[in-house]
Structure 1
Amino acid sequence: MSNWHVNTEGPHRGRATAPLRVTVVVGSTREGRFGTTIADWFVGQVRRLDIFEVEIVDTRQVALPHAFGAVTDHPSRAETTEKLSRADAFVVVTPEYNHSYPGTLKNLIDEHHVEWQAKPVGFVSYGGISGGLRAVEHLRPVFAELHAVTIRDTVSFANPWRSFDGAGEPAEPADAVTATNALLKQLTWWAEALRAARAANPYGA
């Protein structure tokens, strides 16, 4: 993808194909969670580009078994499944809880199977000094078991509650924007390649 130009304004690429459908999964359901702030910022970055259509799956708004803090007036599971099914790629926004990721996120993943297959998964993580990277490392083998491809580069925020301002923006955004551009570049390559492969030869056929 040599015709990408990565800078502070984001990656841009001339396109003749249909936009890629990216589903952003918000992994935390806790009261007072910071994940929505990070997810909103990331989605804002993605929507500045003209190559993605974005949908959001919030684990707090989905009926899941044993979902800690999940609300009752949630979208139907069928709606959630449809969002995952039509996605060309995923980005999971996850905190790190006790060196791993939330149980509700595992429930969402386990409730689905073919929806993840032969699609790329990127990660945006947050937490203490590790920036949530240990949660990401635990998620990689889970998605490998589901025949998904995880993106090597990640976006991570260490102690984000100290580094985001009241408007939900990083106080020093340059590193976060650079990491986001790298993630989206790789995600796009895999999403396009696998979308073409699934169209030519459906996975598991």
Structure 2
Amino acid sequence: MDSGPPLRVVVLIGSTREGRAGARVGRWFTATAARRAGLDLDPVDLAEAELPAAYPAAPTPGLTRFRERVARAEAYVVVTPEYNRSFPGPLKQAIDFAYDEWRAKPVGFVSYGYRARGRHAVAQLREVFLELHAVTMRDAVALDLLAPSFEDECVPALLDELTWWGLALRDARRARPYCA
């Protein structure tokens, strides 16, 4: 069955801290996902996105570029650490910089950390994306930074779900624009 053009997926790297593991985790996930046919991956690293520190009265060029990339995407994978049982503030601000762009699109998660491996951050992000009318994926990738390498058996399940929902919602948005 032909599903049309590749699914456009933004891989949003949500940590901006100096010395962070986020860029390494984001590169690993993007390279792993790139082996899957039918995906057009667009990594967006918030540390390089040139987003304003505060919500501006008028959009900055960096904010406009960010919103355009989010709008073009048909699905998202958020790469997040867990800081104090939550996700980073710059990630929340970036999510808030876009609004309608997230609607009726699927969101998957790749989290990392120690002990809980970022699961508390993902639980809170699910609530945020629910409010934005996005569909979050059941399966998530959770990485232990103490492990010798990044391997997670949930990557295929996450990509399967993300692709199914991404294509289904692409067709649904074409047939009937989403409004709520």
Verify same fold: TM over 0.5. yes
Residue 95, structure 1, aligned to residue 73, structure 2: no
Give the match for residue 9 of structure 1: none
Q: Per-residue displacement from partner, 1:182-202 (whole Å, max 9, x unpaired)?
A: 000011111011000001111
Contact 1:23 1:57 in 2 (8 A): yes
Find the residue that maps to 2:110 and give its secondary structure: strand
Give the match for residue 153 of structure 1: 139
Residue 33, structure 1, aligned to residue 17, structure 2: no
2 CA distance for matches of 1:196 and 1:96?
34
Report the Cα offset of residue 77 of structure 1. 1.8
Structure 1 runs of 4+ off > 6 angstroms? none
Report the Cα offset of residue 38 of structure 1. 0.9
| Alignment root-mean-square deviation, CA | 1.8
1:100-111 alignment to 2 at 5 Å? 100-111=86-97
Question: 1:16/1:66 Cα in 2 relative to 1: closer, same or farther (>3 Å)?
Answer: closer
2 CA distance for matches of 1:62 and 1:155?
24
Give the match for residue 11 of structure 1: none
2 CA distance for matches of 1:75 and 1:22?
22
Residue 136, structure 1, aligned to residue 122, structure 2: yes
Contact 1:65 1:107 in 2 (8 A): no
Aligned length: 175
Q: Which runs of 5+ in 1 are unaligned?
A: 1-13, 68-73
Report the Cα offset of residue 136 of structure 1. 0.2
Q: Per-residue displacement from partner, 1:156-183 (whole Å, max 9, x unpaired)?
A: 012x1x324xxxx53xx3xx1x210000
Tell me which of 34, 44, 54 is aligned to 2:31.
Answer: 44
2 CA distance for matches of 1:27 and 1:85?
17
Contact 2:81 2:111 in 1 (8 A): yes
Q: Which runs of 5+ in 2 are unaligned?
A: 55-59
Q: Output the TM-score relative to the length of structure 1.
A: 0.81
1 CA distance for matches of 2:61 and 2:24?
21
Question: 1:130/1:75 Cα in 2 relative to 1: closer, same or farther (>3 Å)?
Answer: farther
